[in-house]
Amino acid sequence: MLLVLALVVVLALTGCQPAAEPEPGEHEVETKETDVVVIGGGGAGLAAAITAADNGAEVILLEKMPRLGGNTLISGCAYNAVDPERQSKQGIEDSIDLHFQHTYEGGDKKGDPELIRILVENALDGLHWLESLGCEFKDEVYTVLGALWPRSHTNVKPLGTGYIEALENGANERGVEIYLDTKAEELLQDEDGRVTGVKAVDADGNEIIFTARKGVVLATGGFAANVELRSQYDSRLTAEIPTTNHPGATGDGIVMAEKVGAEFVGMEYIQLLPTGDPETGSLAGWLAPGVDQMIYVNKEGKRFVAEDERRDVMTNALFEQTDALMYVVSDANSVWEVTSFGETEEQLVEMGKVLKADTLEELAEKINVPADALVETVARYNEAVENDHDPDFGKKLLGHKIETPPFYASPRVPTVHHTMGGVKIDTLARVISKDGNPIPGLYAAGEVTGGIHGTNRLGGNAIADIIVFGRIAGESAANSK
């Protein structure tokens, strides 16, 4: 069912003279021993490594890519947490129970309630922990796409750079030994089934055995960049559908975990977003930061879905539109000085990612939609804002009219964003086997896990997830007997 990655074994030459032909199976393998081995250098892996070190463990972290960061580095950086201090200043009422309800029901009640409760109850503490590492957040919260409520925090720095800089510094300060360009290929077990280490290969093809005295943490991310694997679960997700993910999101941890008998949950739940760049699939290249500041119109110039809906609902609606293409339409009041992707309005317009016009009629001409339809659509939407009621699609977050020139539009298409399925874990982030018991010595956190988000992940819940469960996995591994 799942892809099985071929293991690479490189025969090493030793000595000054030409080496004799090696015997079958003969090779030189470097071995390193530590307390905890973390596989994956994104947000979850770094959080696990730091926490394991803080719990007295010696830690080695393996990252197959040339640098740390994973999807966290290129994320839109929204972090959901109930935050009374920030939210009260904006007049926002929120609660842990409401965040739980949104997450549980937003995933069609398919997520594990215990894991969801841990997520929502510890999200704010995770945010404060990031701040203690030097990560800075803006003062105001907002509603990122698909978050369902204004509890999304964003970094001062663009993308996920603020997260990774703080986490990388924290790991270095604690003496975490980091191996880049080092791909984990196999989990090693003893005769009792305990995971005792990792077989890996470096950039030169040299095999290295990393032995873990206490435990191994899987934090390898999802498989959105693996076309063959994702299309097994959703036939729409061919190579023609782009992804927001980095090239390394190929499901390596899924393959390794399967070989040691891990149970999987929710593999069929793959999230797409309706807001991908038509050329790259990236979420960069548009202006409106909050769903209350924009509308989506199709090639006929008409709205077709509530912009504050669940991500899966919006994407499925977009697939039903002409060419599965839409335009995000907003006005001057929606423009941040710098977007969360580090882009300015001037740059986006100059690159052609965003079309700008002084009138809606002119904007319609630039995006080749019927002018009368666009004008009527915006007028009807503004009326809905005025009445605080959207009779067409039931949008609830109606904070801003689209009425102040200049007006903006950005073309967007469906893009593969998040794989909700993965290894099953318990509340201590222990990986569960097919027989229902924890696999000794194996822990997991982040997108490699399943069972938290159900059928649909809320926007802004992923960063909270990787920090909360990354810390739990690191602590559990460090304290393993």
How confident is the model at residue 25, as a pLDDT?
47
End-to-end Cα spacing for the chain: 34
The whole-chain average pLDDT of the chain stands at 93
The predicted model gives 177-198 an average pLDDT of 98
**Known catalytic membership, residue 311:** yes
**Catalytic option among 303, 311, 412, 430:** 311
Return the bridge partners of 412, or none: 326
| pLDDT tens, residue by residue, 198-230 | 999 999 999 999 999 999 999 999 999 999 999
**Lowest pLDDT segment from 180-194, 286-300, 362-376:** 286-300
How confident is the model at residue 27, as a pLDDT?
57
How confident is the model at residue 468, as a pLDDT?
99
Chain-centroid distance, C-alpha 68: 15
> Any idea what the Cα angle at residue 281 is, between residues 254 and 411, rounded to 5°?
150
Quick one: pLDDT band at residue 481, thresholds 50, 70, 90?
Answer: confident
Residue 393 has pLDDT above 60, yes or no: yes
Residue 251 has pLDDT above 50, yes or no: yes
Quick one: pLDDT band at residue 2, thresholds 50, 70, 90?
Answer: very low
Q: Rounded distance, CA 480 to CA 407, Å?
A: 57
Q: Closest Cα partner for 207 from 9, 5, 4?
A: 9
The one-character DSSP state at 472 is H
Residue 6 has pLDDT above 50, yes or no: no
CB count within 10 Å of CB 217 equals 34
Structural domains in the chain?
A: 28-269+420-481 (3.50.50.60), 273-415 (3.90.700.10)
Q: Rounded distance, CA 169 to CA 149, Å?
A: 32
Residue 12 has pLDDT above 80, yes or no: no
- Are the C-beta atoms of residues 307 and 326 closer than 8 Å to each other? no
Residue 388: burial class (beta carbons within 10 Å; 0-12, 13-18, 19+): exposed
How confident is the model at residue 287, as a pLDDT?
73
How confident is the model at residue 85, as a pLDDT?
98
Residue 194 has pLDDT above 70, yes or no: yes
- How many contiguous H segments (helices) and E segments (strands) does the chain have? 13, 18
3-state secondary structure of 314: helix
Proportion of the chain above pLDDT 70, given as a percent: 94
How confident is the model at residue 334, as a pLDDT?
82
Dihedral angle of Cα 249, 253, 256, 260, to the nearest 10 degrees:
-160
How confident is the model at residue 235, as a pLDDT?
92
Preceding omega of 278 cis (within 30 degrees of 0) = no
- Are the C-beta atoms of residues 314 and 321 closer than 8 Å to each other? no
- Structure tokens, 99: 């965040």
| pLDDT tens, residue by residue, 150-162 | 999 999 998 899 9
Burial annotation 347-368 (CB, 10 A radius, 16+ → b, else e):
ebeeeebbbbbeebeebbeebe
| pLDDT tens, residue by residue, 15-33 | 333 333 434 444 578 999 9
Residue 223: how many CA atoms within 13 Å on its side-chain side? 29
Q: What is the widest separation between alpha-carbon atoms in the chain? A: 85
How confident is the model at residue 288, as a pLDDT?
63
How confident is the model at residue 90, as a pLDDT?
97
CB count within 10 Å of CB 267 equals 20
CB contact set of 404 (below 8 Å; sequence gap of 6+)? 331, 332, 333
Which of the pair, 382 or 283, is modelled with greater confidence? Answer: 382
How confident is the model at residue 290, as a pLDDT?
79
